[in-house]
C-alpha cells in the first residue's frame, strides 16, 4: 500500500495530529491577528497624523530610523491594557535592537498617546527596560517627547520619575546612556536626561525647562518664549545641558550612532577596535607631518586647535562633545590606529584658550566619562592660565577648577599629554600634568612652561629696577630694559629644559612626530589597569 502525502496548510505550518485545526489557523489566532493589526494600524495612523503635521516622526518611526533594519524587539507593547478587545498602546515604546550590530536598549515616548505623559504603566516599562539593560550590560537610548507626568495619577506618576532616576544613577558609569530630546521635556522629567552621559536635542522642536514660560510669567512677571527659556540653542551654548544640537531628527539619531561607535557596551568591556590598514597609516602619517605648519610660533597668535587634532588622529575624524558650550576648550572622541580615545585640548581661537568655570566643568566631566568607560585621554595643552576677574572668582572658579584636578588625579586610564606652545601656572598643573598623574608627557621645542609668562614675570620680579630706569632715563629706556630682561628670563626659565631635567616632561618632540609618539605611547600603556578591587565600576558619571 502506498502512503498518500497530506498537503501542509497554506501557512507553512505542520499538520496537527489527527488532521484537525492547528494553532496557526485556529479561530483565536485568526481573531488575534485581525484585532492586533487593526489596533496597531489605527494607533500608527493617529500618531502619524499628529506628529507629521508638526514635522516630527512617530515613536516607532524614530526607533526604526535609529536601529539596524529588522532588529527591533518590542517589549510590553500592551502592558496595562492586555492584548484582548481593550488593547491599546501606552505612552512609551520599549524594547531592544541593534546599532551597527551591537545590542542596545531603547525607549521612545509617544506624544500621540496622551501627550506622551508618564504614568504608572509608562514608568514601569521604562524602569523594567533600565533593569534589563543593567543585567545585560548594554547601552540605553531614550527618545524623549513628553508633556510630563500624568496629572490624574498624582504622586503615583511622580513616584515613577523617582524610580527612573534611581535606575539611571545605578547605570551611570556602568553602561553608556544617551538621551535624545525630540519635543517637550519639562518639570521633574528634565532630570532623567540630565543624569545620562550625553543629551542630544533638535534645534527647532525640543525644549527643556524645570518651570515653563507660563509659570515663569505668573511667578516672576517675566515674559519669555519656550525657545528662549529652554530651547536647544540655549542649552547647547549657555547652560551646557545639551551636548549636541541637531539640525533635525535624522541628524540627532545619526549622532547617537556616531557616539556609540566610540564607546564600549559597558564599563566591563573594551571599546570597539576598528580595522587600520598600512594604507591608512601611510595616509595619516602624511597628514600628521604638516601639523607644525598649523600652529604659529608666536604664543600670542591664535589658531584653531581642531585643525591640529584633525591632523594627528585617524582619518582626520574628531567627534566633538559640547561644541557650542565653553568653546575655549575642545573635547571629543577620535581614534589612533583604530583605538578610540578621548581628546581634550585648549582652544587658542577662543579667549586664548584660558580656563574658566564652564570650561573646567566641561573638561572634568568628559575626563571622568572617559575614565569610567576605559577610554584613554590625550590632552593637547596651549593654555595661558585661568581667566582672571571678579566674575570668575564669584562664579566659583576655585571649586569648579578643582573638579579638573579630581578628574585627572583619579583617572586610571592611560593619560598622554602634549604641550604645544605654552602652559602657565595652575592651568599647567591641571591640564594633565605629570605631577597630577599623567603617564607620559611631551612638549614641542620652545614650549613655555612656567608660573607666569615672561613679560608678566619680569614685570613682577624687576618692578623696582624698571621703575628706576624709567625715572632716570625715560620710558624708552625702560621698555628696552624690559625687553632685555624678558629675553633673558625666557632663555633661562621658560624653555622646557628644566621640566625635562626634573622629569615633568618625558621628551621634547618635533611637531611632525606628535601622532607617532602618541600612538606609540598609547600602545605602551594599553595594559594599564586601574579599576578598584571588588568593584564592577569605577565611579558614577555625575553631572558636575
Q: Which residues are catalytic?
A: 187-188, 426-427
d(CA 23, CA 33): 12
d(CA 189, CA 172): 17
Q: Which helix (H) or strand (E) holds 94?
A: strand 92-99
Grid coordinates in use for 296?
A: 604659529
Cβ atoms 420, 381 nearer than 8 A:
yes
Q: Residue 43: name the closest of 140, 96, 110, 117 by CA.
A: 110
Rg of the chain taking only CA atoms, in angstroms: 29
d(CA 203, CA 200): 10
Grid coordinates in use for 317?
A: 575624524
Q: Residue 462: name the closest of 300, 452, 299, 427 by CA.
A: 452
129-132 LR contacts (CB < 8 Å, sep 24+): 129/75, 129/94, 129/95, 129/105, 130/105, 130/164, 130/167, 130/168, 130/170, 130/171, 131/167, 132/75, 132/96, 132/105
Q: Residue 530: name the closest of 418, 441, 408 by CA.
A: 408
Grid coordinates in use for 54?
A: 508638526
Q: Residue 200: name the closest of 255, 145, 238, 140 by CA.
A: 255
Grid coordinates in use for 475?
A: 620710558
Q: Which helix (H) or strand (E) holds 479?
A: helix 475-489
- In the block, residue with C-alpha cell 562664579: 395
Amino acid at each position: 500500500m502506498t502512503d498518500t502525502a497530506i498537503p501542509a496548510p497554506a501557512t507553512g505550518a505542520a499538520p496537527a495530529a489527527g488532521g484537525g485545526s492547528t494553532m496557526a489557523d485556529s479561530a483565536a489566532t485568526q481573531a488575534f491577528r485581525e484585532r492586533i493589526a487593526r489596533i496597531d494600524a489605527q494607533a500608527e495612523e493617529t500618531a502619524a497624523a499628529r506628529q507629521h503635521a508638526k514635522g516630527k516622526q512617530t515613536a516607532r518611526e524614530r526607533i526604526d530610523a535609529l536601529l539596524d533594519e529588522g532588529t527591533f524587539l518590542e517589549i510590553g507593547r500592551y502592558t496595562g491594557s492586555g492584548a484582548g478587545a481593550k488593547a491599546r498602546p501606552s505612552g512609551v515604546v520599549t524594547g531592544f535592537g541593534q546599532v551597527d550590530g551591537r545590542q542596545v536598549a531603547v525607549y521612545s515616548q509617544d506624544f500621540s498617546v496622551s501627550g506622551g505623559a508618564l504614568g504608572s504603566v509608562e514608568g514601569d516599562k521604562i524602569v523594567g527596560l533600565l533593569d534589563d539593560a543593567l543585567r545585560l550590560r548594554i547601552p540605553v537610548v531614550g527618545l524623549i517627547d513628553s508633556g510630563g507626568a500624568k496629572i490624574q495619577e498624582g504622586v503615583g506618576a511622580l513616584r515613577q520619575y523617582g524610580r527612573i532616576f534611581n535606575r539611571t544613577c545605578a547605570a551611570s558609569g556602568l553602561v553608556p546612556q544617551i538621551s535624545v530630546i525630540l519635543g517637550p521635556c519639562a518639570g521633574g522629567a528634565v532630570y532623567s536626561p540630565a543624569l545620562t552621559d550625553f543629551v542630544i536635542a533638535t534645534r527647532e522642536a525640543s525644549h527643556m525647562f524645570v518651570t515653563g514660560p507660563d509659570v515663569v510669567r505668573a511667578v516672576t512677571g517675566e515674559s519669555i518664549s519656550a525657545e528662549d527659556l529652554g530651547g536647544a540653542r540655549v542649552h547647547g551654548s549657555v547652560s551646557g545641558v545639551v551636548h549636541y544640537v541637531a539640525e533635525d531628527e535624522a541628524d540627532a539619531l545619526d549622532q547617537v550612532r556616531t557616539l556609540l561607535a566610540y564607546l564600549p557596551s559597558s564599563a566591563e568591556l573594551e571599546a570597539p577596535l576598528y580595522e587600520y590598514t598600512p594604507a591608512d597609516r601611510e595616509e595619516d602619517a602624511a597628514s600628521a607631518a604638516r601639523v607644525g605648519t598649523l600652529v604659529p610660533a608666536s604664543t600670542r597668535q591664535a589658531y584653531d586647535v581642531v585643525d591640529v587634532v584633525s591632523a594627528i588622529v585617524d582619518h582626520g575624524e574628531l567627534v566633538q562633545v559640547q561644541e557650542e558650550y565653553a568653546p575655549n576648550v575642545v573635547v571629543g572622541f577620535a581614534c589612533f590606529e583604530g583605538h578610540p580615545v578621548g581628546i581634550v585640548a585648549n582652544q587658542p581661537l577662543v579667549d586664548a584658550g584660558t580656563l574658566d568655570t564652564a570650561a573646567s566643568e566641561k573638561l572634568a566631566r568628559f575626563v571622568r566619562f572617559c575614565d569610567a568607560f576605559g577610554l584613554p585621554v590625550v590632552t593637547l595643552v596651549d593654555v595661558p592660565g585661568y581667566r582672571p576677574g571678579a566674575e570668575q572668582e564669584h562664579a566659583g572658579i576655585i571649586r569648579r577648577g578643582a573638579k579638573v584636578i579630581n578628574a585627572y588625579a583619579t583617572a586610571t586610564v592611560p593619560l598622554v599629554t602634549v604641550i604645544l606652545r605654552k602652559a602657565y601656572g595652575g592651568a599647567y598643573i591641571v591640564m594633565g600634568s605629570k605631577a597630577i598623574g599623567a603617564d607620559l608627557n611631551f612638549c614641542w621645542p620652545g614650549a613655555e612652561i612656567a608660573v607666569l609668562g615672561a613679560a608678566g614675570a619680569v614685570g613682577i620680579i624687576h618692578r623696582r629696577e624698571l621703575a628706576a630706569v624709567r625715572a632716570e632715563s625715560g620710558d624708552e629706556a625702560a621698555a628696552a630694559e624690559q625687553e632685555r630682561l624678558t629675553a633673558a628670563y625666557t632663555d633661562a626659565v621658560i624653555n622646557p629644559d628644566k621640566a625635562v631635567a626634573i622629569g615633568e616632561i618625558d621628551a621634547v618632540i618635533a611637531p611632525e612626530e606628535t601622532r607617532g609618539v602618541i600612538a606609540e605611547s598609547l600602545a605602551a600603556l594599553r595594559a594599564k589597569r586601574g579599576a578598584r578591587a571588588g568593584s564592577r565600576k569605577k565611579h558614577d558619571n555625575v553631572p558636575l
